[in-house]
Chains A and B, each alone.
Chain A
């Protein structure tokens, strides 16, 4: 798309944005992939429309306040990136745009404090855990609370499990085959500590030593995708200091959102002195399923114990795995590697579940519609279990599956593998 974005004045992030706008040929192939277009049916709430809006704002032809409601409704799911034949890096555009525009936004005091609370609590597992416990007590009040507060409460699980600190080094069992660094993640430590415990057990069982480097923190994705760029940069730089890519075969994440965030570091630091470090770092980042799948493909994966009975697993593609990282085959291959497990494909599988980072807190109505649609689609396959590779999807889907009256469990792909190894499947 031809444009007059003042790249010189905008610097590295301006180059990122102008490149994406240049690449769009406004063909409309992205429209059917976009969840908000599917719900709202108008051009402004489609990727193509949002690219035009961002271009106009950057060129100075449209006030930011006019474009903002439509840009805020974007989930950042990047389904449009998968659908785009022209190769438009839409994810980079919206992320860079949010970083550029947030300081210019005028938000209400309530809005500001909500965002502040989310961005403070998410990267601090202990704080998040305390907040979640407080939230649990407030849950019975949910029906009388305003929607802005009801959304987060609805998403809280019945019980908030106790925190399980992870050991700094988990030795390999048997012959050591590899050595990886692991990002422990934030919210999931509080909401689903077993994700990490299962990950460490599965890696150790496969002869992989796992190191959890000191000084690591939040990946920064939540801050970055909500436009808190300065906050995000602090987190990004802290992780670049904490992880030394040369020391490890890979840097692993078991949360799709975090993994995608880590892989974005070179884009975040485009045109800045740390760009080279970010590239070296990102080149080592892998999702846990990608890493284990390389073992599987090399015939090195410890064979899982067969399931005690034939089991169907509906696999949910987390957007940040499937669209942002292009990881689709690996988790399915791992599940299929368990004898007795059959993997089911979900109708409208490419449509976001509505969780999308902080989206279900900021846009509860749309998130709720998407969550309901996702749960119905998944349950239409009548699975024994549901698998996903992202804490956000996990929470959203489990909550909506319950609301549909189904007792079906949602587990992390690695939890299922872990259960198989332990003979509990």
Chain B
């Protein structure tokens, strides 16, 4: 079984290290000398817990560092380099593509203790260390009359560093953009342990680091743009007897000129999984549910826009319910945020896609994926930021009873649907190790060669998060 296939199961043969416990290796001993024992984890019980993200288990690291400053990161990188072992950066490890799961034993740098955060009201900026929890930025900014819009579903857990490494989005991305759109400046540590501070002018090297999944450098701090919150927000929920009709309603609403702040959908299986968790009274029988926010400075415009969406939903055969109160709206959004982990109620494991397709192709794409799912032995569910054409088809399976190869094949066919309709492999979760294989279908050989060139320029020894993004054989040649 090759590594991609192993990546689908939580139990890989690389799971357990040969030696147990203690600072039994030179790397851990070096790190402890440089950083002191409080910032270095070397016991097996500690290291075991830094080998997974929210989708995958990888190899047990040789050591884990919990840095408190950029200097600590520099010291850790230099020690790893001296030992000749790979380095994997890690935030809250809520990622969904295997990005933070090490594929081989090495050093994991976990940023959860780098939590310094400063709000600059006048400049409408926040300076956040990599480990600052996403929600904390908005919470700190709000008293200054500002917010930080990127809102991935995991925003209570995930960190700014992880968000930037994956260029995470969220429901707000339709109108307000994704994490990368809010970065004014970045500080990062390169594979040699040098510190760099980047802005977005000259070469947009910051842009290159964003979404690079820790393969080009370790982001240690970011300067983020903040905006004033919209004065008014209105929410509606529509449900449809068929998934394609939901996609049609979205295209129709946008064509009519609506620019909602959020446009999210979930199919029947998702709605039911969430309903089992939250008991909100969601329509269990509907094949698709659409959640929409419109917002702005002027209540009349906000309501006009909501009406445009409402009309489009009705014209596509949907049933519309407006949230009567702010609280009801908040509950509906909590429902949407819980979809991903709530799917664990259906099957213990999932292969998670993150495709983006042109909006005009949405109805065809969701119907084709639905048909692939219906013809397979696995539950296939769909949800996502449908306003952006960003869909998350998930294949749910039980690795003890079901064939991981068949799951991988189905995932491949779903990826091909997206590519055939002019789409891409990742909107916000990254390629990681989960979709690395599909890169050959999505990216032409010349472009892949250019990506390899970039990787070599910034990480000549292939030490940073090896085995991610670029297809396997290229990485094997490199490192």
A and B associate in one complex: yes
Residues of A within 8 A of B (CB): 1-4, 22-29, 31-32, 41-44, 49, 52-53, 56, 61-63, 66-67, 70, 84-88
Contact between B94 and A28 (Cβ–Cβ < 8 Å)?
yes
23 pairs from A and B in contact (CB 8 Å cutoff): A1-B348, A2-B9, A3-B10, A4-B11, A24-B344, A25-B54, A25-B343, A27-B94, A27-B154, A28-B94, A28-B158, A31-B92, A32-B156, A41-B112, A42-B46, A44-B45, A52-B48, A53-B48, A62-B20, A66-B44, A70-B45, A85-B342, A87-B345
With beta carbons under 8 angstroms apart, the residue of A24, A52, A63, A88 that contacts B21 is A63
Q: Which residue of A lies closest to B9 (CB)?
A: A2
Contact between B348 and A27 (Cβ–Cβ < 8 Å)?
no
Contact between B154 and A44 (Cβ–Cβ < 8 Å)?
no
Residues of B within 8 A of A (CB): 9-11, 15-16, 20-21, 41, 43-46, 48-50, 52-54, 66, 92-94, 110, 112-113, 133, 154, 156-158, 274, 276-277, 338, 340-345, 348-350, 399-400
Bound together, the chains give a CA A27 to CA B400 distance in angstroms of 20
Given contacts A23-B348, A27-B340, A66-B43, 5 further A-B contacts (CB under 8 A): A2-B349, A3-B10, A28-B157, A42-B110, A70-B45
CB-CB under 8 A from B50, the residues of chain A are: 43
Contact between B45 and A86 (Cβ–Cβ < 8 Å)?
no
CB-CB under 8 A from A49, the residues of chain B are: 49
8 tightest Cβ-Cβ pairs between the two chains A and B? A86-B344, A25-B344, A66-B45, A43-B49, A2-B10, A27-B341, A85-B341, A28-B94
Nearest CB of B to A19, in Å: 11
Bound together, the chains give a CA A41 to CA B49 distance in angstroms of 13
Q: Which residue of A lies closest to B114 (CB)?
A: A41
CB-CB under 8 A from A52, the residues of chain B are: 48-49, 52
Q: Which residue of A lies closest to B349 (CB)?
A: A2
With beta carbons under 8 angstroms apart, the residue of B48, B93, B110, B343 that contacts A56 is B48
Bound together, the chains give a CA A85 to CA B44 distance in angstroms of 29
Q: Which residue of A lies closest to B276 (CB)?
A: A87
Q: Which residue of B lies closest to A70 (CB)?
A: B45
CB-CB under 8 A from A62, the residues of chain B are: 20, 44-45, 48
Bound together, the chains give a CA A56 to CA B9 distance in angstroms of 16
Nearest CB of B to A25, in Å: 4
CB-CB under 8 A from B112, the residues of chain A are: 41-42
Contact between B154 and A28 (Cβ–Cβ < 8 Å)?
yes
CB-CB under 8 A from B16, the residues of chain A are: 61
Q: A43-B49, A84-B341 are in contact. Are A2 and B274 (CB under 8 A)?
A: no
With beta carbons under 8 angstroms apart, the residue of B66, B157, B342, B348 that contacts A2 is B348
Contact between B133 and A86 (Cβ–Cβ < 8 Å)?
no
CB-CB under 8 A from A61, the residues of chain B are: 15-16
A-B contact count (CB 8 A): 110
Bound together, the chains give a CA A28 to CA B274 distance in angstroms of 17
Contact between A41 and B66 (Cβ–Cβ < 8 Å)?
yes
Bound together, the chains give a CA A26 to CA B50 distance in angstroms of 12
Nearest CB of B to A299, in Å: 24
CB-CB under 8 A from A32, the residues of chain B are: 133, 156-157
Contact between B9 and A44 (Cβ–Cβ < 8 Å)?
no
Nearest CB of A to B110, in Å: 7
Q: Which residue of B lies closest to A23 (CB)?
A: B344
Bound together, the chains give a CA A103 to CA B432 distance in angstroms of 43
Contact between B157 and A87 (Cβ–Cβ < 8 Å)?
no
CB-CB under 8 A from A28, the residues of chain B are: 54, 92-94, 154, 157-158
Contact between A86 and B41 (Cβ–Cβ < 8 Å)?
no
Bound together, the chains give a CA A56 to CA B52 distance in angstroms of 14
Nearest CB of A to B72, in Å: 14
Bound together, the chains give a CA A23 to CA B341 distance in angstroms of 10
Contact between A25 and B341 (Cβ–Cβ < 8 Å)?
yes
Q: Which residue of A lies closest to B96 (CB)?
A: A27
Contact between A67 and B154 (Cβ–Cβ < 8 Å)?
no
Bound together, the chains give a CA A1 to CA B53 distance in angstroms of 12
Nearest CB of A to B162, in Å: 10
Contact between B10 and A1 (Cβ–Cβ < 8 Å)?
yes
Bound together, the chains give a CA A63 to CA B48 distance in angstroms of 12
Nearest CB of B to A44, in Å: 5
Contact between B113 and A41 (Cβ–Cβ < 8 Å)?
yes
Q: Which residue of A lies closest to B94 (CB)?
A: A28
Bound together, the chains give a CA A25 to CA B341 distance in angstroms of 7
CB-CB under 8 A from B277, the residues of chain A are: 85, 87
Bound together, the chains give a CA A49 to CA B10 distance in angstroms of 15
CB-CB under 8 A from A41, the residues of chain B are: 66, 112-113
CB-CB under 8 A from A24, the residues of chain B are: 344
Q: Which residue of A lies closest to B136 (CB)?
A: A32
Bound together, the chains give a CA A59 to CA B93 distance in angstroms of 24
Bound together, the chains give a CA A55 to CA B275 distance in angstroms of 29
With beta carbons under 8 angstroms apart, the residue of A22, A29, A66, A85 that contacts B348 is A22
Q: Which of B9, B94, B133 counts the most A-chain CB atoms under 10 A from its CB?
A: B94
Nearest CB of A to B187, in Å: 21
CB-CB under 8 A from A67, the residues of chain B are: 45
Nearest CB of B to A384, in Å: 27
Bound together, the chains give a CA A172 to CA B400 distance in angstroms of 57
